[in-house]
Structure 1
Amino acid sequence: MLLALVLIPILAAFAILGGTKPRLAAIAAAGLNLALGLAAAFTPKAGFWNFSLGVVSTPEIHLSLGLYDGMSVIMLLLAVIVTMAAILSGKSPEGREKLYYASSLLISAGAIGAFVATDLFFFYAFHELALIPTFLMIGIMGRGDRRAIAWKITIYLGFGSLVLLAGLLWLANLTGTFSIPQMLENGPVDPAAQKGIAALLIVGFGILISLFPFHSWAAPAYASAPAPTAMLHAGVLKKFGLYGLLRLAIPLVPEGMEAWLTPLCVLLLGNILWVGYVTINQKRLDGVLGNSSVMHMGYIFLAIAALAASYQGEALAGTIVDSEAVTLASAARFTNDLAQPAAVLLMFAHGISIAMAFGLADRIERKTGSLDMADLGGLAKPAPGLAFLFGLVTMASIGLPGLANFAGEVMVFISSFRNYDPAAGLGPVQITCILAIWGVVISAVYGLRAFRRTFQGPVRPTTEGATDLSWCERAPALLLAVVLLAVGIFPNLLLSLLK
């Protein structure tokens, strides 16, 4: 059945290119995948979700798909929900309908395939599949200096993918398999190689995630991209790197991750503080949203750093648990039981909120003709529904209690002090957390400032003729808003999947 989740958007994309009505086919494919994704969340352990097909015998590579654990389920849910909202939000340029909707579906298929792939080759290949239509959408249908931006994102992400490929091949060579479950069952690789592999994975995944200082591609790309592309890439595809670090780097090279802990903490502070101040200085709404997305990656990296800092494999090895000796391969090597759930919850929350924000920004541009905040103002008067929804997602981004982002950020901060020993003094993770809390203030400054300049004050010539959202236009934002509220009020809806 997981194969269907990947094939449905791919087949729909080919059907669109072959002459099927683009929007109708895209909505049907996204709706069917949303239904299947919800079914997977309710029955994640059912055997019919697994699929494996031998592709190459030497080395042994399988098109293997499966819901390995709750993290895969949550990422799958994120992908199908945002895909539905992105397809409903988009409006293709005249004459570009086929490429517009087919490319959006292919981005979704690549993201879904990467999250459910249990073979290292296809884990990487599905992500690369999603990058190709991303480049096309920005280069052909983007705004501003789209060609230069498309080349920039191509160079950055291409280089990151090559670095990542080197790290993944090193892992496969040491473990002797491309099967991710088999790798994880075997446990950490040779300690002598872990630091080098960890460096490649941090840089490779980090570029794809927009880790500081490899972040400069992200904000211009999102500002230039058509709405569905920005929603799918910022909301879903960028989580591939974070997912990869949690799935592969943390369990397989824990000592290597721990060795790079201090540099990682410094870089993630660059995301939170440096990019946060850059966001305050933005003059356009799409620039605010793009840089905000980059900034909030720092909080998820903080949870990953907290998890890496809790590695105690050597201390546990050889101990007795339930009358059996614990080996490095089977030991519960991480003492921080909050860090991974915190990272996954915030990944999901950020994906939903940033997708909603980019979708609404596109509506603002269509109704006013501009996203320059100097041209906007007073939009709440002619479009109160739009103002309410944008205010809601702004509060989510800031971290208002009752919304999903708040639950994720609080868990990240708490996980940074999990098992903290005051007698030992503050470690790099605790110091980083204290400094990172200032990012909450920065988020409030740029978020409220952007809302005020867009929706409050006197009505301007560009906004006086604007109309409010119709119910059809509200549908994708309402879908995402309901998810933000549901997970914010009851985070265990997702956290229970991780148990």
Structure 2
Amino acid sequence: MLLLLVLIPIAAFLAILGGAPARKTAVAAGVANLVLGVWAAFTWKAAMWSMSVPVLAKPALNLAFGLDGMSAVMVLLSVIVTLAALLSGKSPEGREKLYYGSSLLIAAGAIGAFAATDLFFFYAFHELALIPTFLMIGILGRGERKETAWKITIYLGLGSVILLAGLVWLASLAGTFDMPSMVKAVQDGSLVIDAASQKGIAALLIIGFGVLVSLFPFHSWAAPAYASAPAPTAMLHSGVLKKFGLYGLLRLAIPMVPEGMNAWLVPLLVLLLGNILWVGLVTVNQKRLDLMLGNSSVMHMGYIFLAIAALAASHTGSPAVGYLDAAGNAVTTYTLGNFTNTIAQPAAILLMFAHGISIAMLFGLADKIERSTGTLELTDLGGLAKSAPGLAFLFGMVGMASIGLPGLANFAGEVMVFLSGFQNYDPAKGLGPVQIACILAIWGVVISAVYMLRAYRNIFQGPQVKATTDAADLSFADRIPALILAIALLAVGLYPNLLLNLLK
């Protein structure tokens, strides 16, 4: 069944190439995947969501898919944003096949990467999704699209090569490409990776995954890429595909090379503060809405890295967590592995979902602003709320979510991230590196409020200007993708356990 989530968008892509109506076919595939993805996410423990098909005997490669709580949340994020992206934006005349076909392939690659349990296909599906991303920016993008496409190709290509080296190193030590088996071997002690190898592998994974996530200082590709990309590409990459690197660190680096991750803790904290503080100040200085949103996306990755760092810092060095059940019997569990921080991983996953929904909605609405006014220059806009009150309301809502307003999903994720940094705090020992980073990172909340509130004021408030006088409000068709994403933000914001229960 899980294979259908990958095959449906690929089949729709092939149908579009064969002459089927591009938009109708793509949207139908998006609706089908949303229904199937929601079903999969909330019933992920059922055996029907696991499958494995042998592809190669030696080395053993299997087209294997399976879900746990973390991958279920990421699949849910993927199908929600995919449908919203397919409904957003406007295809250039005569480019419908490329526009919708590429969006479907990006979605298929992202879902395949999150659902794959074989290391080869985990990597391969992500690379599949990058190809249409490059094409969409280089062919259908705006501004200096060709230069931007080459820049993102070089950056992400190098990051993927570095990542591949780390993954191959891990697989060679484990003797298998099956990721659950690799992790279980480390947790039960049958695979012991020495400290030097752990440190080397962790460095490769941090840099490789970090480039894909736009970890400072490997971040300069992201904002120009999103500013140049068509709306569906910006929504899918910033909202979904960029989470692959964070997911990979949680899926592989944290459980398999915990000592290595812990060895790089302080450098990682310094880099993530670069995301939050340095890139945050860069975001404040932006004069175009699309560049501001692109930089804000880079900035908010720092919070998720902070949760990952808090988890790495809680490594105890013991192979498992032991406890006594109600009958007094000794029980060993590998649910948390050898980490004592119980908040960090759920915090990272919740914030990944929340950020993915909010940034996708922001880019979708930014595209509508540009199509209505002809510009995204903040100084050329003003008073748009008078002619487009529906757009002003929805943008205000998602803008407040982005800066952490209570009642919306981002708030729950950010609060959990900060709590995770202090879960193991011991006043007798004083502040540790993670706690110091948390205190500094809180200033990012202030920075976010500055750039988002200023942008909202410049775009929607004040007297109307030439660009906004005759601007159209959101049509019924424009409201549908925005409302899909807004409902997700509200549902998870008001009841975070909707997702957190999936992680149990």
TM range (shorter): over 0.9
| Larger deviation, residues 364-373 vs 43-52 | 43-52
- What is the rounded CA distance, in whole Å, between the counterparts of 1:147 and 1:154 in structure 2? 10
Shift of 1:419: 1.8
TM-score, with structure 2 as normaliser: 0.96
Aligned to 2:459: 454
Equivalent position SS for 2:54: strand
Contact 2:255 2:337 in 1 (8 A): no
278, 285, 302: which one aligns with 1:281? 285
Equivalent runs, 1:317-328 vs 2, <5 Å: none
Structure 2 Cα separation of the partners of residues 411 and 302 of structure 1 = 11
1:313 touches 1:332 (CA, 8 Å); kept in 2?
no
Give the equivalent residue in structure 1 for 2:206. 202
CA pair 94-315 structure 1, distance change in 2 beyond 3 A? closer
Contact 2:217 2:274 (8 Å CA) reproduced: yes
Q: Hey, what does 2:472 align to over in structure 1? A: 467
Q: CA deviation at 1:472?
A: 1.4
1:278-317 → structure 2 map (5 Å cutoff): 278-314=282-318
In the alignment, the residues of structure 1 paired with residue 393 and residue 151 of structure 2 have an alpha-carbon distance, to the nearest angstrom, of 35
* Structure 1 contact 185–330 (Cα < 8 Å) conserved: no
- Tell me the secondary structure at the aligned position of residue 63 of structure 2: strand
Match of 1:416 among 409, 418, 421: 421
1:421–1:162 CA distance, 2 compared to 1 (3 A): same
Q: Name the CA shift for 1:318/1:436 in 2 (closer, same or farther; >3 Å).
A: closer
Distance apart, 1:326 and its partner CA: 6.2
Paired position in structure 1 for 2:171 = 172
Structure 1 match to 2:194: 191
Residue number among 364, 369, 384 corresponding to 1:364 in the alignment: 369
CA shift, 1:49, in A, is 1.3
Cα pair distance change 1:108/1:156, threshold 3 Å: same
Match of 1:439 in 2: 444
Measure how far apart 1:191 and its partner are.
2.3
Distance 1:83 1:166 in 2: 30
Give the aligned partner of residue 12 of structure 2.
12
Kept in 2, the 8 Å contact 1:167–1:200? The answer is yes
1:237-248 to 2 correspondences below 5 Å: 237-248=241-252
What secondary structure does 1:99 align onto? helix
- Alignment partners' CA distance in 1, 2:422 and 2:115: 32
Could you give the per-residue CA deviations for residues 69-123 of structure 1, whole angstroms, max 9, x where no partner exists?
1001000000000000000012100110000000000000000000000000000
Q: Partners in 2 of 1:133 and 1:158 — Cα distance?
A: 14
Code of the aligned partner of 2:405 = L
SS at match of 1:279: helix
- Within 5 Å, give how 1:5-404 maps onto structure 2: 5-67=5-67, 69-187=68-186, 189-192=192-195, 193-314=197-318, 332-404=337-409
Amino acid at match of 1:205: F
| CA RMSD, 1 decimal | 1.6
Gap change, CA 1:32 and 1:315, over 3 Å in 2: closer
Tell me the percent identity. Answer: 73
- Paired amino acid for 2:234: A
Q: Is the 8 A contact 1:191 1:255 kept in 2?
A: no
Runs of 4+ with >4 A deviation: 315-327
Pair 1:415–1:462, CA change in 2 (3 A): same
Amino acid at match of 2:473: D
* CA 317–411 in structure 1, closer or farther in 2 if over 3 Å, else same: closer
For 1:76 and 1:25, the matched residues in 2 are separated by 21
CA displacement at 1:131 relative to structure 2: 0.0
Return the alpha-carbon distance in structure 2 between the equivalents of residues 242 and 384 of structure 1: 36
Paired residues in the alignment total 497
Change (3 A) 1:487 1:184: same
Flag the 1:96–1:492 CA change in 2: closer, same or farther, 3 A. same
Does the CA-based 8 Å contact 2:162-2:205 persist in structure 1? Answer: yes
| Structure 2: gaps spanning 5 or more residues | none
Taking the aligned partners of 2:375 and 2:495, their CA distance within structure 1 comes to 37
Higher mean C-alpha displacement, 360-369 vs 189-198:
189-198
Tell me how far 1:250 sits from its aligned partner: 0.2
Unpaired runs of 5+ in structure 1?
none
CA contact (8 A) 2:203 2:264 kept: yes
Q: In structure 1, what is the Cα distance between the partners aligned to 2:114 and 2:460?
A: 38
Deviation at 1:464, TM superposition (A): 0.5
In 2, are the aligned partners of 1:187 and 1:330 still within 8 Å (CA)?
A: no
Q: Partners of 1:309 and 1:223 in 2: how far apart?
A: 35
User: What is the Cα deviation at residue 315 of structure 1?
Assistant: 8.1
TM-score by length of 1: 0.97
Equivalent residues of 2:321, 2:337 under 8 A apart = no
Q: CA deviation at 1:323?
A: 6.0
